[in-house]
Amino acid sequence: MNRLFSGVGNGFAEIWGHKLRSLLTVSCVMLGVASMVLTTGFMEGFFKNWEDSLQDQGGVEKIFVTAQGVKERQEPFAAVSPGLTLADARALRALVPQIGVISPEIDAARPRLARKGKTFEGRRGARVMGVTNAILEINRYEVATGRAFSELDLADDSEVILIGSKIRETLFAPGEEPLGAFIDFNNRPFRVIGVLRKYERLWGDYNTLDWKNEICFVPVTTMATKIQRSDRLSFLNFKAVDISLLREAVDAGANVLAQQHRGIIDFSVRTNEEQLASFASTKASFVIGGSAIAGVSLLVSGIGIMNLMLASINERVREIGIRKAVGATPFNIFSQFVAEAVTLSLLGGTAGVAVAVGLIKVLATTLPPGSTPLLSPSAFVVGFFFSVAAGVMAGIYPAIQAAKLDPIEALRYE
């Protein structure tokens, strides 16, 4: 213990004795750790962003049913199927316990929104959908002011409408109260009962969530009877009660729908799994690539430390000889060098983490929100651990070399 302590003490004295060399070593480790933490931070930020957008589309438990053309051999009988209708939603609700929320949706064909001579154009034009409150839950919409649909709205085919924030901004003057006001949807007056939250995730200047702001909802029943004049659904989305029941929900749902459609497969059932799989595989390849970059930077810093340690040995051969001559064992010499390497690595590692935190904080305020790196605790732990390990490993080789020297050989060294 005491021997180790004296080694550590000597290590400190040595670090102080060679300020420039120590500074270089610390810088090597610092750069290694900082680049490791930054690389990981950027990766994590990127994936967090992606994962969020997956969630905004309903998350992994979401199942999409869309109408699609039948296979060739079923073509002669296609007409016997009633198609995707509200009745399907009721059947799924009644027959498949693995299904949680069900959202029947009718996308209005060519919606026109107008109020007091103003019309909504938007980036892609307005989108008006006949829905139930389920869409709020599945696609994560929030009513900011006003209310969602009531049972009565749906039962009575009420002409009420929930509007997105962009619609409100366009059709209403700032400060004008939208609740209770009427807007024309395909020349029918609809009473505004709620305004949706404003969604924003910037990618540069571009709001990647604008599509959520350019949308309006009316009761699906109203849409079926008064606008579309048929209860054909555009989409029928539902969520499994739990992610573990996803497959079962998909299979059972498909069976019920096939039954409803008299065996005609004029629909497709899809999940977010493919997206998730591509997310996972992209993430895996990024993690490998990022780790390689981080690994190389750590390796470079390790080589830097090793180089400095070896240089310091050549410079200190006489010192090693003297220490051995007055009784230092190989272990004493060894522990002195390791202590030095550990101290420098720890210093460098701490500095590296500090630099990385600082950079990430600065970048977070200067970069657009979509591309900011994240402070990842695991990156700190890994970066710190590896830098210290690299430093120690780099210190151990020269330490063994130093410990092996014969005292008089070292003393003769010029």
Partner 1 sequence: MPLGSEVLRLDRVGKRYPMGDVIVDALVDASFTLNEGEAVAILGPSGSGKSTLMHLLGFLDSPSSGEILFEGRPVAVLTESQRARIRAEKIGFVFQAFNLLPRLSVRANVALPLAYHGSPPADAADRVSRALELVGMTNRAHHKPGELSGGQRQRVAIARALVNEPRILLADEPTGNLDTKTAAAILDLFKELNRLGRTIVVVTHSPEIAANFRRQLHVRDGRVTEGGSA
> What does the binding site for partner 1 look like in residue numbers (CB under 8 A)?
2-3, 6, 9-10, 13, 17, 318-319, 321-332, 406-408, 411
Nearer to partner 1 by C-beta: 212 or 323? Answer: 323
Instruction: State in angstroms the smallest separation of the CB of 368 from partner 1.
Output: 53
**E strands, 123-163, where?**
127-131, 143-146, 160-163
Between the alpha carbon of residue 258 and those of residues 93, 144, 253, 255, the distances in Å are 15, 39, 9, 5
What is the nearest approach in angstroms of partner 1 to the Cβ of residue 331? Answer: 7
Q: How far is it, in rounded angstroms, from Cα 198 to Cα 166?
A: 8
Supply the minimum distance, in Å, between the C-beta of residue 347 and partner 1: 20
Minimum CB separation from partner 1 for residue 408, in Å? 4
Minimum Å gap between C-beta 329 and partner 1 is: 4
Neighbours of 385 (CB within 10 A): 12
Pick the closer one to partner 1 by CB: 23 or 367.
23
- Cβ closest to partner 1, residue 121 vs residue 406: 406
Q: What is the closest distance, in whole angstroms, from the C-beta atom of residue 47 to partner 1 in the complex?
A: 51
Number of helices followed by number of strands (H, E) in the chain: 13, 14
Question: Closest distance between partner 1 and the C-beta of residue 332, in Å?
Answer: 6
Residue whose CB is less far from partner 1, 154 or 322: 322
Smaller CB distance to partner 1: residue 357 or 400? Answer: 400
Instruction: Tally the C-alpha atoms within 13 A of residue 257's C-alpha that lie toward its C-beta.
Output: 24
Going through 143-242 in order, the beta strands assigned E by DSSP cover 143-146, 160-163, 182-185, 188-196, 202-203, 206-207, 215-219, 235-240
Task: For partner 1, give the closer residue by CB, 61 or 340.
Answer: 340
Comparison of 77 and 331: residue with beta carbon closer to partner 1 = 331
Closest to 273 in 3D by CA, of 236, 247, 234, 238: 247
| 290 alpha carbon, distance to own chain's centre | 16
Q: Who's near 23: CB < 8 A, 6+ residues apart?
A: none
By CB atoms closer than 10 A (0-12, 13-18, 19+), residue 258 is middle
The rounded distance, in Å, linking the Cα atoms of 388 and 105 is: 57
